[in-house]
């Protein structure tokens, strides 16, 4: 098992000038940095690869659909922008040595609306078609996609593991699986452990976050249940800690951050990894 931390904990957008964050990730004891891609073209792949080597870190790339780059949009230009963004994430992953691009790539974060059934089906079909095309591009470059179900307040298309598995089946590509996140599962799943086990064989990445986005172990998520389920499916990939610095502009609305999730990102990172490591002695 390898343990990672997402760059959102310290900064956003993660740009070349912020590569010093990798030293803080390594100093906290993590094996992997989870690079969040808010914008394309702001992070030099060669410089990232050199910094990873310097600090002895592996890497996962996490991206997300947003307004203006949404594979499910009825607007062809927006779908094209979503595909271009996804390809850029794949290219960054390949250049940096990552094997997985994860995140809510299917539909814009923050898009939560009531739609007529025919509109809902059409939107979902567009997302599946776009992800099928992106999966082919990624597969040719040795990259897997891990699609993330979000809670109902952040997205109206994909909320549960069952929905995620259905979408994977329709995309029909061996290199497409799921990113599961305890924050979202704590809201949407009736039985978190059972949901993890249901996704056996399709869990390509895993995010840990407490029910209030605080450090894992500080809230009411049943971490023993989570750990037992991951052992049951023989998950042996990366477990990343995810939260968001309150200083990050533009994220407040997307993640409903109306108060700080922590005061000191380095202390948060150390507390988080200590708890996660204790689950897998």
Decide: 257 and 224 in contact? Cβ < 8 Å.
Answer: no
Selected catalytic residue, list 123, 148, 154, 189: 148
Question: Do 131 and 171 meet the contact criterion of CB atoms below 8 Å apart?
Answer: yes
For the question of residue 188 being annotated catalytic, the response is no
Q: What distance in Å separates the CA atoms of residue 185 and residue 221, rounded to the nearest whole number?
A: 10
The whole-angstrom separation of Cα 238 and Cα 251 is: 24
- Beta pairing, strands 144-147 & 32-36: unpaired
- Let me know: does 72 contact 130? Beta carbons within 8 Å: yes
Annotated catalytic, 170?
A: no
Query: Which of 78, 189, 242, 271 is flagged as catalytic?
Result: 242
Neighbouring CB atoms inside 10 A of 11's CB total: 18
If you ran DSSP here, which 8-state letter would residue 13 be given?
Answer: S
Catalytic residue IDs? 148, 242
């Amino acid at each position: 098992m390898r343990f990672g931390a997402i760059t959102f904990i310290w900064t956003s957008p993660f740009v070349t000038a912020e590569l010093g964050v990798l030293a803080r990730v390594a100093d906290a004891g993590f094996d992997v940095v989870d690079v969040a891609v808010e914008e394309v073209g702001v992070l030099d792949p060669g410089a990232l690869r050199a910094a990873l080597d310097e600090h002895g870190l592996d890497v996962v790339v996490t991206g997300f659909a947003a307004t203006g780059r949404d594979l499910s949009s009825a607007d062809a230009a927006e779908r094209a922008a979503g595909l271009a963004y996804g390809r850029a994430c794949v290219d960054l992953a390949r250049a940096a040595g990552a094997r997985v691009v994860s995140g809510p790539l299917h539909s814009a974060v923050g898009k939560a609306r009531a739609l007529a059934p025919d509109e809902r089906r059409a939107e979902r079909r567009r997302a599946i078609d776009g992800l099928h095309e992106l999966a082919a591009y990624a597969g040719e470059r040795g990259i897997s996609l891990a699609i993330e179900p979000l809670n109902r307040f952040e997205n109206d298309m994909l909320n549960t593991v069952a929905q995620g598995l259905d979408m994977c089946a329709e995309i029909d590509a061996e290199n497409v699986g799921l990113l599961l996140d305890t924050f979202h599962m704590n809201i949407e799943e009736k039985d978190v452990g059972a949901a993890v086990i249901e996704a056996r064989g399709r869990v390509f990445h895993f995010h840990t976050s407490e029910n209030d986005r605080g450090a894992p172990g500080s809230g009411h998520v049943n971490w023993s249940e989570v750990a037992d389920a991951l052992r049951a499916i023989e998950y042996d990939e990366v477990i990343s800690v995810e939260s968001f610095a309150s200083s990050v502009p533009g994220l407040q609305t997307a993640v409903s951050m109306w108060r700080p999730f922590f005061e000191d990102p380095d202390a948060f990172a150390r507390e988080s990894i200590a708890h996660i490591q204790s689950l897998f002695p």
